[in-house]
A and B are shown apart, each in its own frame.
Chain A
Amino acid sequence: MSTTGLAPSPPSGSAIARPPRERTSSWPLVDRIAYGLCWAVGIGLCLIALAIVLFMLVKGISYLRPGLLVQSPAPSIQQSESGGFLDPIVGTLIVAVLGVAIAAPVGIAIAVWLSEYRRPSLLARVVESAIEMIAGVPSVVLAIFGLLIFSQRFLGFLSETDAGGAVSGKSFFAAGTVMSLLALPLVVGATREGLAQLPDRMREASYALGRTRATTARRVLLPAIRPEIASGTALGLGRIIGDTAIITIVLGLTLTNEAVGHVPLIGTLRGSGSTLTSYIYTNSPAGEGSAPQKAYAAAFVLLLIVIALNGVVTWLTGRGEAPRGGILSRAFRLIPYMPDPSR
């Protein structure tokens, strides 16, 4: 796909710069301490991750019952009577689907424009930094901004309007839309990263066949970078699923998913509800209902989803040729959630 595909790639830099057996015993003491610290930090990070996963695993296995997954939450102080977290799971699903359904197409479109058209170039630069800025805005600020927008009267059809005519602004519609802003920079970044890796000869060959840029992008470039787009979307999904602030502020934190009006699906989307993250928060000692066992069980489910998403990204980016530089996985470069303005 990229240039490395043609010729056998030269031995990567690290292989040369890394003499096979340089003994650290000949190094000055300071250097040896630094070397030891590097190892300590590396191992320490692994231990932290291992501790988190193992701890959640133990807690999850001891508190997660299959019944919890299919029961709705119920208002009760007793942990045995407060039901399960079916509604939060459904809520997480709805928000994730809505968020990605908005973020993916818009993100891809912006990325294509930024990478393939970018005219006028000054505007493209400004849009680039706008995307970076969206990535940098705290989600709690996105949330209060979203609430402000969706509680305007003319958007009342998207959420609940009370008797006095005040629009609550809290609904799955609102939450999904605000959430899409979390995923957008990731989709844009991953798509641009993918487009940047495609060799120019692919574009040139397509132009030579008389195709327009739109056709080239649609038929040649985008199909070639499907794994990148998918991994960016999956990472965005992870961010959406993991966010609590937007849910608390824009979804309304009701115990169960409350439909507004009588139309089945639309009613739910207009209504308020909760997701796994907000369920964990409300059931933790920091929230009102203190039910740590339920919180642990829900957190375990959430962590499983996150790990599964991570696995999907690894699998998606692992296929194809080895990444440039050969040291870090491609998914690794997407961690900062930032579009890469390298072109």
Chain B
Amino acid sequence: MDRHPLTAERPRGRQHRWATARTDQRVELTLGALAVAALVLIGAMLITVLIKAWPSFAHNGLGWFGPGGDVETQLRAMGEGKALPGHSIFYFRAWPLIWGTILTTGSAVLIALVVSTLAAVFLTEFAPAGVRRVLDPVIRLLAGVPSVIYGLIGILVIAPYIDDHLLSTARRESVSYVVQLSGADVMTASLVLTVMIMPIMVAISAGALASVPASWREGSLALGANRWRTIWRVSLRTARPAIVAATVLATARALGEAVMLAMLGGGRGFAPNLLDGVTALFEPVRPLAATIFQNSEGLTIAPLAHTVYAIGAVLLVSAAMLSLAGWAAKQQFKRYGLRG
């Protein structure tokens, strides 16, 4: 009588307030209104950020996305309110930032895709129960460590190490006419970013692998395939849509990471030149999100603010499209009647 959740509450007192059909309707309306508020919020965010961003896009046209000049000089000019000679105050060419985003996000997601798939397979198939009990909280911890701590360790440990031991004088001098190498570079940033996005990918992939019906794998095993072949041909094949969804979500995560990349990327809007070969790995980078973060103090200055919001609009639209893509990928997985 007093334990079961259905009968624990005696039908008296406050409960009457919830009991009639009219209040039920009212509750439904209230909850529904809150849910719609979330929708309105996303809509308002898109609209206000786009409106605020419009002057920057309008002045630059499609050239906004292209290369042209030093993006750092352009941002500084806007911050100081002095237009660059021969250009309007809004003159802005975001290509170095976009290229930086593509480089960091792309390399981090590619590495994480391989590593996290292996980790998910290990977690669900090979790890002994004891190891799994350790790995599960370890991955959750890696997911929970704040990005500023990753950034702190990176800038106080990894960057000085690269600066002292891996950067030769010849390498520094080979690019000294465009940029100074400091150890905070695209390679460190991408590697740390990989660690940061991996937990999401492992979680989704492992969840999908765990929900592959045992009978499907047993069928393969009974046909004489060894365990790896079974995983490769049956489990991973079934989980492929979920792995795609994981990749998409991780891309969104990497795209939005600002703080760690602002700390570890060298803090300079520079497009690492792949023609420099290995040296490109050591060149500084600053993706879009990190640029917003580092210019946040200039949000009271109108032209700079419009530009920063324009960067934000690009990120917002990319994030929205990625989230749609992730949703579509998940639908695929549901086709098998599984949940990932």
Contact = CB atoms under 8 A, between A and B. Distances in A.
Nearest to B43: A130
B161 interface: no
Contacts of B249: 136, 336, 338
B31 A41 contact: no
B323 A133 contact: yes
Interface string B1-38: 00001101100000100111101100110111011111
A9 interface: no
A49 B147 contact: no
B135 to A, nearest CB: 6
A211 B38 CA distance: 29
A125 B135 CA distance: 35
Nearest to B267: A286
A17 B49 CA distance: 52
A330 B61 CA distance: 48
A145 B126 CA distance: 45
Contacts of B299: 144, 147, 249
Interface residues of B, number: 117
A223 interface: yes
B140 A138 contact: no
A184 B38 CA distance: 10
B132 A327 contact: yes
B247 to A, nearest CB: 12
A26 B228 CA distance: 12
B3 to A, nearest CB: 12
A215 B27 CA distance: 10
Nearest to A305: B146
B204 interface: yes
Contacts of A248: 259, 293, 296
B136 A117 contact: no
B149 A280 contact: yes
Interface in B149-198: 149, 151-153, 155-157, 195, 198
A45 B202 CA distance: 11
B140 A55 contact: no
B123 interface: yes
Contacts of B49: 141, 144-145, 148
B150 to A, nearest CB: 8
Contact of A285 (B136, B141, B156, B246): B156
Interface stretch (A65-73, A78-86, A106-114, A257-265): A106-114
Contact size class for A? Answer: 35 or more
B217 A41 contact: no
A161 interface: no
Contact of A17 (B141, B204, B217): B217
B221 interface: yes
B328 to A, nearest CB: 10
Contacts of B75: none
B148 A109 contact: no
A277 interface: yes
Contact of B35 (A49, A114, A310, A327): A114
A46 B138 contact: yes
Contacts of A145: 45, 48-49, 312
B115 interface: yes
B203 A332 contact: yes
A193 to B, nearest CB: 10
Interface in A97-152: 106, 109-110, 112-114, 117, 119, 123-124, 126-127, 129-145, 147-149
Contacts of B255: 138
B31 A17 contact: no
Interface stretch (B64-72, B84-92, B205-213, B276-284): B205-213
A135 B135 CA distance: 25
Contacts, number: 340
A7 interface: no
Contact of A42 (B123, B155, B296): B123
A149 B204 CA distance: 34
B289 A286 contact: no
* Max chain A Cβ within 10 angstroms of own Cβ: one of B8, B42, B144, B211: B144
A140 B214 contact: no
Contacts of A149: 48
B77 interface: no
Given A39-B126, A137-B316, A310 B137 contact: yes
Interface in A19-37: 19, 22, 26-27, 31, 34-35, 37
6 contacts: A34-B228, A55-B153, A136-B319, A211-B19, A336-B249, A341-B330
Interface of A: 12-14, 16-19, 22, 26-27, 31, 34-35, 37-39, 41-42, 45-46, 48-49, 52-53, 55-56, 106, 109-110, 112-114, 117, 119, 123-124, 126-127, 129-145, 147-149, 166, 181, 184, 202, 205-206, 209, 211-215, 218-220, 223-224, 235, 238, 241-245, 248-249, 277, 280-281, 284-286, 292, 295-296, 299, 302-303, 306-307, 309-310, 313-314, 325, 327-329, 331-333, 335-338, 340-342
Given A17-B214, A145-B45, A280-B149, 17 more contacts: A14-B125, A37-B118, A38-B126, A45-B142, A45-B198, A106-B34, A110-B31, A112-B31, A117-B28, A137-B256, A138-B257, A138-B258, A144-B309, A249-B299, A310-B141, A335-B143, A340-B339
Interface of B: 5-6, 8-9, 15, 18-21, 23-24, 27-28, 30-32, 34-39, 41-42, 45, 48-49, 52, 115, 118-119, 121-127, 131-132, 134-149, 151-153, 155-157, 195, 198-200, 202-204, 206-207, 210-214, 217-218, 221, 226-230, 232, 246, 249, 252, 255-259, 262-263, 267, 289, 292-293, 296, 299-300, 308-309, 312, 315-316, 319-320, 322-324, 326-327, 330, 334, 339
6 nearest CB pairs, A to B = A138-B256, A13-B214, A242-B146, A335-B203, A113-B31, A212-B24
